[in-house]
Amino acid sequence: MKVWRGKFKLPQKIMRHIADKRKETVGYPMTLRTYIIRRSILIIPSFFVISLIIFMLIHMAPGDPTRIMTGPRGRLPPDVLALMRKELGLDQPLHIQYLQWLGRLLQGNFGFSYVSYRPVLDMIGERIFNTLELMLLAEIASVVVATILGVIAAVKVHSVPDALASLAALIGYSIPNFWIALMAILFFSVQLGWLPVAGLRSYGAIYNSPIDAWVDHLKHLILPVSILTFGWTAYLFRMVRSSMLDVLGQDYITTARAKGLKERIVIYKHALRNALLPVITYEGYSIGFLLGGAAVIEYIFAWPGLGMFMVDIATWRDFPTLMGLSMTICLMVLVANLCADIAYALADPRIRYD
C-alpha cells in the first residue's frame, strides 16, 4: 500500500519499526486468502443446521407419505403399506431416518420422487437454469436502475426527481408483487395482446431460424423480469439513496470538493464506491427473500423454474423432492451470502477479518 507519495519519506528504519509493532499488536495478520477460506468453512455448520431444520419441518407434520404415493383413492391392504414403509425406511426412528437421508445427500443422492418416480436431482437440474436466468437478469437490471436513480436522488436531494423516485419506490414496495403481475397480464397480454401470457416460449411454435426462437423467448422474458425488477429496485433504491446521503455528508467529500475536484469525480469516484458497500451486503443477504418473491412470479407466468416447482410439489406433498429442493435452494442462498461477504472483503480493505 502506497501511503507516502511525496518526496518526504519516513526513514526506512522507522517504517520497519512501525511494521513490526503492528505485527506484534495484531498478532498474525490475516490475509484475504485466509479470510476467504475461514468464511467458506463456516458454510459447513450452517449446512447441517439447515438440513436438520428442513428435515424436522417436513417430518414433524402429521400424515403418511405412503398415502401420497398411493393417491387419495388408493386402497392398499395394510400389509402392503407396511412393506412400502419398510422399503422406504419410514419404519425407522426419526434420527436414523435423518442420518440416512443426510448420508445419501452428502453422496449426491437426492432420492426419487414419490409422485413421478424420477430422480430428484434430474428434476432440479432441468429447472435451475430457468430460475437463474430470471433472477440474474432481474438482479442486474435492478442494481443498475437503483444505483442510477439512487445517486440522482441523493445528489439532488429534496428536488423533483428525488421526490418522484422516492414516491415510485414507496409504491414499488407497498404493492404486492403478484398482484401487479396479474394486472400486467390483464393489461398487456389480455387487453392489448402485445406480450405472451406465460411460459418459456410459445406453445407448439415452429421457428424458421434460431433468431426467431430467441426473439420469442425474449418476449416471454419481458413481463416477469420487469415485474421482479420493479419490486427489487424499490428496496435497493432506498438503500442506495440513504447510503449515498450518509457518505455525501462526510468530511472527506468536503475535502475532495475543497481541493477542486470536479463534482462528477467526487460523486462517482469518492462517494459512490463507499456508498455501494452496504448495498453489496444487503444484496447478498436478500437473495433468500428475493427467491421467495420470484416463486410467485414464476407460478403466475408458468415459468418452469425452482419456485414454480416448489409450489407444485408442495401441493403434492412429495417428501423427497421437497427436501431435496429446499436443500438446493438453501445451498444457493448460502453460496450467495458467501459471495457477498467475499465481494465485500475485496471491495473494502478496511474490513476486520474476524
Partner 1 sequence: MAMGEPHMKSEDETKVYKPSMASRVYVVWRELKKSKLTIAGFSIVLFMVLIALLSPIIAPYDHRWQGTSGIPPSLEHPFGTDGQGRDMLSLVMHGARVSLYVGLAAVLMEICIGVTTGMIAGYFGGKIDEIFMRFTDLIMTLPTFMLLIVAVSMFEVRNINVIILIMGLFGWPFMARVVRSEFLSLRETTFVEAAVSMGASNWRIIVHHILPNTLSSVIVLATMDIPWYIFYEATLTFLGFGDPSSPSWGVLLQIGYYYLRSYWWIITFPGLALFFTSLGFNLFGDGLRDALDVRARGR
| 303 binds partner 1, rule: CB under 8 A | no
The verdict on 164 binding partner 1 (CB under 8 A) reads no
Pick from 151, 130, 354, 96: nearest CA to 269: 151
Count Cα neighbours of 35 within 13 Å in the Cβ-side half-sphere: 17
Q: Which of these ranges, 83-91, 146-154, 220-228, 324-332, lies near partner 1 under the rule CB under 8 A? A: 324-332
296 binds partner 1 (CB under 8 A): yes
Question: And the C-alpha cell for 35?
Answer: 479470510
CB 154 within 8 A of CB 169: no
Contact 120/321 with Cβ under 8 angstroms? yes
63 makes contact with partner 1 (CB under 8 A): yes
In terms of CB distance, is 99 or 311 closer to partner 1? 311
Which residue, 238 or 270, is less far from partner 1 as judged by CB? 238
Binding-site string for partner 1 from residue 256 to residue 275, where x marks contact by CB under 8 A and - marks none: --------------------
Q: Which three cell numbers stand for residue 149?
A: 436513480
Cα 351 from Cα 210, distance rounded (Å): 48
Site for partner 1 in 227-246 (CB under 8 A): 235, 238-239
- Residue count of the chain, please give it: 354
- Which one, 59 or 85, has the nearer CB to partner 1? 59
* Residue 299 engages partner 1 in binding (rule: CB under 8 A): yes
Question: How does 182-204 read in b/e, with b if 16+ C-beta sit within 10 Å?
Answer: eebbeebbeeeeebbebebeeee
The secondary structure of residue 29, as a DSSP letter, is P
The answer to the question of residue 291 lying near partner 1 (CB under 8 A) is yes
Helix axes 287-300, 177-184, angle to 10 degrees: 30
Q: Is 310 a residue that touches partner 1 (CB under 8 A)?
A: yes
Which one, 151 or 308, has the nearer CB to partner 1? Answer: 308
**182, 302 contact by CB (below 8 A):** no
Q: How far is the CB of 239 from partner 1 (least distance, A)?
A: 8
Q: How many CB atoms lie within 10 A of CB 70?
A: 16
Binding mask 166-205 for partner 1 (x = CB under 8 A): ----xx-xxxx-xx--xx-xx---x---------------
Question: 3-class DSSP state for residue 262?
Answer: coil
According to DSSP, residue 267 is labeled I
Q: Report how far residue 60's alpha carbon sits from residue 265's, in angstroms, rounded to the nearest whole number.
A: 58
The answer to whether the CB of 236 falls within 8 A of the CB of 143 is yes
CB atoms within 10 A of CB 346: 12
Q: Which stretch binds partner 1 (CB under 8 A): 82-90, 101-109, 121-129, 291-299?
A: 291-299
Candidates 35, 36, 39, 46: give the one binding partner 1 (CB under 8 A): 46
- Count of residues of this chain found to bind partner 1 when the rule CB under 8 A is applied: 51
Q: Which of 58, 82, 102, 261 binds partner 1 (CB under 8 A)?
A: 58
> Angle, nearest 10°, between helix axes 319-347 and 272-285?
160
For Cα atoms 181, 179, 330, give the angle at the middle one, nearest 5 degrees: 75
Closest CB to partner 1 among residues 61, 160 = 61
Nearer to partner 1, 106 or 171 (CB): 171
By CB under 8 A, is residue 279 in contact with partner 1? Answer: no
Give whichever of 155 and 300 is closer to partner 1, judged by the CB atom.
Answer: 300
Distance in Å, CB of 215 to partner 1, minimum: 26
3-state secondary structure of 219: helix
Residues within the interface to partner 1 (CB under 8 A): 46, 49-50, 53-54, 57-58, 60-63, 170-171, 173-176, 178-179, 182-183, 185-186, 190, 235, 238-239, 285-289, 291-293, 295-296, 299, 307, 310-311, 314-315, 317, 322, 326, 329-330, 333-334, 337
